[in-house]
A = this chain, B = another copy of it.
Amino acid sequence: MESVTKTFGILTAGGDCPGLNAAIRGVCRAAYDRYRMNILGIANGYRGLIDGDVRSLHPEDFSGILTRGGTILGTSREKPFKTNDIGEDKVKAIKENYYKYKLDCLVVLGGNGTNTTGYLLSKEGLNILGLPKTIDNDIEGTERSFGFHSAMSICTDAIDRLHSIAQSHNRVMVIETMGHKAGWLALYSGIAGGGDVIIIPEIPYNIKAIGCHLKERAKTGKSFSIVVVAEGALSAEEAGMEKKERKRLRSEDGLPSAAYRVAGEIEKETGMETRATVLGHVQRGGIPSASDRLLATNFGTAAADLLARGAYGKMVAQSGYDIRAVDLSVPAGKVKLVPGDHHMLDTAQAVGTCLGV
């Protein structure tokens, strides 16, 4: 019967990212105002559900948080399906607390790992709803995840700043964005910032091609260049190696960071003065962009509707600009890479950007 008041738990897991609070507010306001549900906030991701660190959330808790960075619930990288040293049965603890708190559903906000865990818990019989958040935009099944737009804007601002330095000093500036496996962030901010070279993990780079491009630019009087590189970038040579071997070599060279490796190779290849910048954590903190607030609010209210309808085992997602729901099996265990025929790759090349090949 629909007249019975539902109770759900909500948690945020994985890396911090702009829009988490906006999404929490979206879920909770809609669930509270529209459907009069009971809301339990779970602290620090799955860790809080293991430990029973749970409290009731009331309107004053999720009011005024739309614009705030971070997450009022706290987060952690706890992966309950991985056994730890002390052999704790974390899945069992989660299930016990799920039933103890009489949850009708558990709403999880997070990236690939979080939604994969959500999928596995739903296979254990729990009702789960997922919301996709990640600055990497690498969640399968949704066109966008919140956090990506804020990060992309921050990276673009940084590239804008480096442009003036590159130009004044006649230098090559290499800037590293986040993105271990997927290059969305480097690709999008690279085009928005007018990068001359963009290197993403999906396309192993050839330093000769890059050097050639930079030297061509110099011939037309442009003795400065911007190179945007994802942290997971690897050269064609490295792409042929085993991961272990790659790690060993990088550690030997004392160059764990992609920006420094690429900068060194460019200097060697071209003789041009080159500098590296690693953007780091600033990419994922602070006030969410207007676009991320919109997306997070959309996802949140859509999740509340699914909750009300009892349509569990789903992740809310964006298809085009529309909001829909996909089965949690869709993102589970996957990473959404930039496909080789993505129109943004063509756009980048059309405005003269070298993709390292």
Contact = CB atoms under 8 A, between A and B. Distances in A.
Interface in A288-303: 289-291, 293-294, 297-298, 300-301
A305 B277 CA distance: 35
Interface string A300-314: 110011000000000
A160 B320 contact: no
A293 B76 CA distance: 32
B29 A352 contact: yes
Contact of A285 (B30, B75, B163, B304): B163
A278 B16 CA distance: 19
B143 A320 contact: yes
A143 to B, nearest CB: 6
A161 B69 contact: yes
Interface stretch (A93-101, A185-193, A205-213, A330-338): A185-193
Contacts of A74: 168-170
A46 B173 CA distance: 23
A286 interface: yes
A124 interface: no
A322 B350 contact: no
Contacts of A286: 157, 160-161, 163-164
B192 A351 contact: no
Number of copies: 4
A320 to B, nearest CB: 3
A203 interface: no
Contact of A277 (B160, B194, B280, B343): B280
Interface stretch (A84-92, A115-123, A148-156, A240-248): A148-156
A198 interface: no
A347 interface: yes
Nearest to A32: B352
Contacts of A301: 346-347, 350-351
A304 B44 CA distance: 38
A149 B291 contact: yes
A347 B297 contact: yes
Contact of A168 (B75, B167, B194): B75
A285 B320 contact: no
A105 B329 CA distance: 49
B70 A321 contact: no
Contacts of A63: 222
Interface of A: 12, 16, 18, 20, 25-26, 29-30, 33-34, 44, 59, 63, 66-71, 74-76, 143-144, 149, 152-154, 156-158, 160-165, 167-170, 173, 188-189, 191-194, 220, 222, 254, 275-282, 284-287, 289-291, 293-294, 297-298, 300-301, 304-305, 319-323, 343-344, 346-347, 350-352
Given A29-B352, A75-B168, 18 more contacts: A16-B169, A30-B350, A33-B350, A34-B350, A66-B194, A67-B194, A76-B169, A149-B291, A156-B293, A161-B282, A162-B285, A163-B286, A191-B293, A192-B293, A192-B297, A193-B290, A277-B282, A301-B351
